Structure 1
Amino acid sequence: MLTMANLNRRIIFDNETQINKKQFSQTIDIDLDLEGTVQHPLHNLPGYFIRSVESALKYTEFLISKGITNITYRLGGGLQIEEPDSYVYAPLLLNSESNVCAKFDADTILDKHVEFYTLLRKVFPRGYLHITADPFGIAPNLSDGAWGARDERGELDEEQTYLLLEKIADKYSSCDVDALLTMGRVENEVEITRRVIDSNKRNTEIYAFSQNIESKAAYVYLDKLNKADSYQKILPGNITEMKIRTILDIYAGVDAIIVKPSENLHVIQFTKDYVTSPEVALSFLESIVDSDIFGDKNHIRSICKKILEDKNTFENNCKRVTIGTYAVSGSYLMDKLLEENKGKEFSFNVQNEKYRNIISIIGDRMAHIIDRSTESYLDFIENGDVSE
């Protein structure tokens, strides 16, 4: 007769994946134009706030006191705006033709970013706080969802956008931020950023949204952007292009690839396979380099051929690449809706499974899980009724 032990199919009874605070990075959104110690709720993101500089500094100090020392900052501000009837998240009004946005000057905005990061690093030295800087707030566009510098007609200007990327790389790294995000929107982002950082002999690492997709789950706090197609990001499910972009960014010298959205476990897996077994990536490249998938983008095909001729550089670059994930705002909203409907413990368990899956794939190549829910998730581990 079979005993209960005979019927138990489980082999391993302990969690192979261990959760620790160093694996996570809390996101903080800041409006640099807010004065005092102020925070405003963000539409559709319950429990999450846009913060003033003073509020952000206090919150940063609070997170550090809880052992959360990796933080990702998204900045906005520097706009000349007319005073609206109620608070408007000004960073996302850039080039939007909104009646509250009077003028856009990327240099002025960038200078405000530098002022903040200089202050942040002075208050929280390197080694005490890991700063990941997200430059999205410098040049987004509410009306079409695209990012970049614009000409007088409101059209994207390629030359000025490349110049803006150079300035961002130079000025952010001069503030000694630990990592600078490239957004996976503009051709040669990593190449430009790498060149500027290296030429200035700076220590800032490059974190890249290499496989950034045109997700409808992003920007839930702005319904209009949910419907916009920026034409800058990869279509959901187009894994061939995601693989190509991953390989290109590794060759260009990225330090960490941040998978966005974080639910794309299959993307995390092939990225891990590529950086730990470069021959897998090169074999894929060989299989598609002469195909017709590149269309009229022959410059991309040329770079792919160059990589195949320079395999040693690619293989050496793979050795240093780490992997992280980024949770879009829609994921945060879904977690909160689940929490509201089923309670905190159920919502935690769903998050816990997701994070453990991510960590189990990435293993010792972990950069950071960048997530607005970092503090609440880690707090539930410490104070909730969940056994670790």
Structure 2
Amino acid sequence: MKVKVAIFTGTRAEYGLLHSLMSDVKASARLQLQVVVGGMHLSPEFGDTWKDIERDGFPIDAKVEMLLSSDSDVGVVKSIGVGILGFADALDRLRPDVLVVLGDRFEALAIVQSALIMKIPVAHLHGGEVTEGAYDDAIRHAISKLSYLHFVSAEPYRQRVIQLGESPDRVFNVGAIGIDHLKRTSLMGRDELSESLQFDLSPPFFLVTYHPVTLAEESPELSFKALLEALDRFPEHKVIITYPNADNGGRAIIPMLEAYAHQSAGRVLAIPSLGFKRYLSVVALADAVVGNSSSGIIEVPSFHVPTVNIGVRQKGRLAAKSVFDCKPEVEAIVGALRHVLTADFELLCQSVVNPYGCGDASKQIVSALERFQPATIVKPFYDLS
């Protein structure tokens, strides 16, 4: 009998990371893939990205509407509650042998809480990491404690999950799953990409993604305004800006980026979602990736492209030498961009080693899932002593 593996995705970025794993689970003779979709995927405001999942050949087994139009802290809490109600019904119908979730989003916290009470073991990807500027940091560690299997992206993160009381024989260092795409995805060339986006991508250009900081005192509007002013200091560079996620404060940024793109038509493209293939293709051609997305820390260094990491959202993550940190202030961002565009920094990027692995995470995860015997989720607390 096949092991039923439900994989949950709630955001476009998360799906891009999970795509390789979903393909490998689907191809496995021992596993049966179930796809559960919720959150931003089902929102027209964020691009209706559930359609991309189906276009990629993954039938969706459950759609759970949970995202309210409000992105206040109260609105996010209510979205979690709505999600728990929907996930209870979906998991009851699907009854997977194991649920796979990635990262630190509130959508993932909702489904993992449901799975725990329903005695469905959870396999958590990217546990043990630290992002001090977002409440995602606490959510990530909470999901780790609610999970049975752990697939982490680096050895220091493995040690941290063990420090949380998880037994070492259930914590696997497989590297970052997003890097698998570098080996598997055939990237689009500049002309094909320009045609697909209906936007001239002749060099030079920046790729920008900025998400609200949800824990530290960093105003999303003020920080994003500083970023836009800094970009104006590089008029020779075109700009592709992707929408922020659905964290509280994110919707305040969307009209700002849309207005910026409208005022600079031909130079600036604002787009809800690039999709993972176009995203990786744009990264490969960009002069720099700018903002505070985890992708700039984890995947971008493998392209030998510089990252300007703004503010404290990603504070605490392991980072390659191609990642340059700066404050969310105009002059700091301008200085960082000038620095990463120098010949010396370009040379450094060409020799950088990504600390997040070499791109075989999915195969290792599938191998562990194929061996998994989902008899119980009872687990003793592992004491370091």
Highest Rg: 1 or 2? 1
Q: TM-score, normalised on structure 1? A: 0.30
